[in-house]
Amino acid sequence: MSGALEHRLADLVADVSGGEISAEQALAGDHSLSALGLTSLAWIRLIDAIEDAFEVDLDLGGDLSAFERVDALAAHLSGLLDAR
């Protein structure tokens, strides 16, 4: 599921960035999403989109490094989904 989850998240990144970041760029992991240009507004949209699409609550109060790359975000989200 991880590969499919990563692709789904990369598509969400592309959507919330208005196409400024392609799904391929997000998946490549060469740079953090911030370095690729994900704006603060797009971050909010991404969090909302993930919570809506996967019916989870993301805790933004702790270490946010899991949100900087699609693979780390997929691993974090997979953990949340497995805990259900």
pLDDT at 35 over 60: yes
Give mean pLDDT, residues 19-28: 96
Q: Which domains does the chain have, with CATH numbers?
A: 2-82 (1.10.1200.10)
Q: Give me the phi and psi of 66, to 5 degrees please.
A: -65, -15
Question: pTM for this one?
Answer: 0.91
| pLDDT recorded at residue 14 | 97
| pLDDT recorded at residue 1 | 54
| pLDDT recorded at residue 64 | 77
Question: Which residues fall within 8 angstroms of residue 39, CB to CB, at 6 or more apart?
Answer: 17
In terms of C-beta density within 10 A (0-12 exposed, 13-18 middle, 19 or more buried), how is residue 77 classed?
buried
Q: For the chain, percent helix, then strand, then coil, each to nearest 5? A: 65, 0, 35
pLDDT at 53 over 80: yes
- Condensed to tens digits (0 to 9), the pLDDT of residues 9-19 reads 999 999 999 99
